[in-house]
Amino acid sequence: MLDFIKRHEGLWLFSRSPAVIIAAIVAVIIILGAVLAPWIAPVNPYDLASFSLMDGLLPPMWEEFGTEKFPLGTDDQGRDMISSILYGARLSLIIGIAAMAIATVLGVGLGLAAGYYGGRFDAVAMRIADIQLALPAILTALLIDGIARGILPPDMQQNLRVTVLTIAIALSLWVNFARTARASTFVQMNKEYVQAAVMQGQHPLRVMFVHILPNILGPLLVIMTVDLASAILLEATLSFLGIGLPADSPSLGTLIRIGMQFLLSGEWWILWIPTLFLVALVVSINILGDFLRDVFNPRLR
Amino acid sequence: MVYFIAKRLIQSVFVMLAVAFLAFSLFRFVGDPITQMTGVETSVADQERLREDLGLNDPFALQFMRFTGDMLQGDFGFSYRTRQPVAEMITKRIPATLELGIVALLISLLVGIPAGVYTALRPRGIVSQAILMATLVGVSIPTFVIGIMLIFFFGVQLSWLPTFGRGGTVSVGGWETSFLTIDGWRALILPAVTLGVYQLTLTMRLVRAEMMEVMRSDYIRFATARGVPMSRLYFKHALANTMVPVITIIGLQFGGVIAFSIVTESVFQWPGMGLLFLESIRFVDIPVMGVYLVVIALFFVLVNLIVDLLYVAIDPRLRIKDVS
């Protein structure tokens, strides 16, 4: 076993750094909890019949007046906190991963093409990326959200909220992928295997996706991790600002916004437990991203 | 030199035109301005007459030129929501956001640069490791959570500082400043720290990376060998050479500060441009959204222009290259 770990440098480094191991465990627990939410959560918080006002504002079970029925307490509506959080984390993760996936496809596709064709196409694509880079992600996402509000008819707004949010986040994150993919593609273009494939007359798409892409996956993986954290943060921020998800299908950000109302009263759990979940999730993903960067970039060590 | 400035100026004009075009497209194509301006009782004939009067049937290019011309004269149209002139709404909010941003940027630089230098010079020290770990956590904690935590500790638990609004302001030639009253400063502290923390971590990491790079260079080794005193070596020889990237981040961070001020202003109910923008998104108040974009872009372009000029002032090599 130790031999196996030592041979794989990444695993070896992993086994040596406690912070990274803890981060991985925390991330896995939260992600598992979110994925399995419909099966492990005590109740379904979207179901109005599942909670009653009579149970409102109960503290977590280790506090006085807490009951085991609601391990992390309830909010003012009597909703079970742990269920809300698991379902909220689920929504946050779904939007985060979907946005990251769209950003990856868009950015890597454009970056590969820019690196492959070079010349004018590259120049135009990179100018667009520069403009996008000058606009902070949160501003882009807010703008796209605002435009969607203006264009979509009101009755579709609620149904498409998740979609709009995902696209807004994806469109503000694709640049990192495009720039990284382009830079790595440039390096690969001079290698013999690529030139051989081109000279065989293989289709450009085949060269890009079958030959080049597998060789630039490393740096892209790092960006994917870091951007997943950014996407989750962005979604939480938008929901916190009240232009993300509504209160009847809350993500972690919405839960924190609701909890803000209890900042001045004694019901600390309604605000701080979702906050703790969000921060733990993002911090651990970021630590993993930092670790991956070190693995793929030995020079930084 | 003159050529360089002229080139940058022309580029800036093009950027502003592009942003104006974006704002115009927003105004023209997101929702119908006529339905926004009139009520349900207005007859179709009246609507058409208004459309003709406002020139909304004219060719696109002509409309855009008129829009840009109006903007240049300071006429930014009216808000859909409040029916007030947008120019007035925005200018009233500019001082609050700018003062918040400037203080946040100062916090970021005054704490970030020394911390970056320190962690670069003692990379293995316990204090450095702690600072680095703290920045990783700092990057991961969303701005709004930092704001909530500060409100909780300093506003609610300790009740040392106010948690919303600007406190007392003094009008200096129409500019509402909170720099001149103790109350204003007290209200400014929490929002500015909230906004500054994220930028601080960026500054620190960049200064650290640059400083480590410079410390490895030949001229520093030569200076060490020559016996230049350490303090002089660090602060005169090394730090001076990290200034160019630091100037760059000031330009970049300005954008970040303005963008994140939207979040900070929302948490602290700070009456700035960000809060106005947020309200305008919520109510699909397109004219305000568009003008906010143009104003932000203008600040952005001006700051980056100044940054480019500072490069030339700071780095003599750029001047020599310009001559040749």
Q: Give A156 to chain B, closest Cα distance, Å.
A: 15
**Is A105 a residue whose pLDDT tops 90?**
yes
B122-125, long-range: CB within 8 Å, 24+ apart, which pairs? Answer: B123/B212
Inter-chain touch A242–B139, beta carbons under 8 Å: no
Evaluate whether B270 touches B263 at the Cβ level (below 8 Å).
no
**Is A298 a residue whose pLDDT tops 60?**
no
Mean pLDDT of B87-103: 88
Look at residue B323 in the predicted model and tell me its pLDDT.
46
% of chain A at pLDDT higher than 90: 8
Evaluate whether A194 touches A188 at the Cβ level (below 8 Å).
yes
N-terminal to C-terminal alpha carbon distance within chain B: 11
Look at residue A108 in the predicted model and tell me its pLDDT.
92
User: Nearest CB to B142: which of A145, A233, A285?
Assistant: A233
Inter-chain touch A134–B255, beta carbons under 8 Å: yes
Which pLDDT tens digit goes with each residue over A146-160?
888 777 777 777 777
Q: Give B49 to chain A, closest Cα distance, Å.
A: 24
Q: Is B31 on the interface with A (CB under 8 A)?
A: yes
State the best of A17, A142, A287 to mutate against chain B, taking most chain B CBs within 10 Å. Answer: A142
Mean pLDDT of B84-94: 85
Helices A268-296 and A252-260: crossing angle in degrees, nearest 10, is: 140
Residue B73 has a CB neighbour count (10 Å cut-off) of 8
Which pLDDT tens digit goes with each residue over A45-96?
777 666 666 666 667 766 676 676 667 677 777 677 888 888 888 989 999 9
Task: Place B169 in a pLDDT band, splitting at 50, 70 and 90.
Answer: confident
Q: Give B216 to chain A, closest Cα distance, Å.
A: 14
Q: Is B94 on the interface with A (CB under 8 A)?
A: no
Which is more confident, A289 or A248?
Answer: A289
Which pLDDT tens digit goes with each residue over A190-233?
888 888 888 888 888 888 888 888 888 888 888 888 889 889 98
Inter-chain touch A241–B263, beta carbons under 8 Å: yes
**Is B311 a residue whose pLDDT tops 70?**
yes
Top CATH class, A2-300: mainly alpha
User: Nearest CB to B144: which of A139, A240, A285?
Assistant: A240
Segment among A75-79, B81-85, B227-231 with least mean pLDDT: A75-79
Taking CB atoms and an 8 Å cut-off, how many pairs form between chains A and B? Answer: 94
DSSP string, B132-199: HHHHHHHHHS-HHHHHHHHIIIIIIIS--S--SS----EEETTEEESTTSHHHHHHHHHHHHHHHHHH
Q: Could you tell me which residues are beta bridge partners of residue B85?
A: B78
**Is A301 a residue whose pLDDT tops 70?**
no
Q: Give B306 to chain A, closest Cα distance, Å.
A: 16
Q: Is B300 on the interface with A (CB under 8 A)?
A: yes
Complex-level ipTM: 0.79
What does the block give as tokens for B16?
Answer: 């502003």
User: Nearest CB to A279: which of B26, B141, B156?
Assistant: B141
Segment among A107-111, A294-298, B233-237 with least mean pLDDT: A294-298
Q: Give A293 to chain B, closest Cα distance, Å.
A: 14
Look at residue A57 in the predicted model and tell me its pLDDT.
66
Inter-chain touch B144–A256, beta carbons under 8 Å: yes
Q: Is B148 on the interface with A (CB under 8 A)?
A: yes
Domain ranges of chain A: 2-300
Which pLDDT tens digit goes with each residue over B231-289?
777 777 777 777 777 777 777 777 778 878 889 998 888 888 989 998 888 887 888 88
Look at residue A161 in the predicted model and tell me its pLDDT.
82
Look at residue A6 in the predicted model and tell me its pLDDT.
54
Which is more confident, B317 or B119?
Answer: B119
Inter-chain touch A143–B256, beta carbons under 8 Å: no
Look at residue A4 in the predicted model and tell me its pLDDT.
56
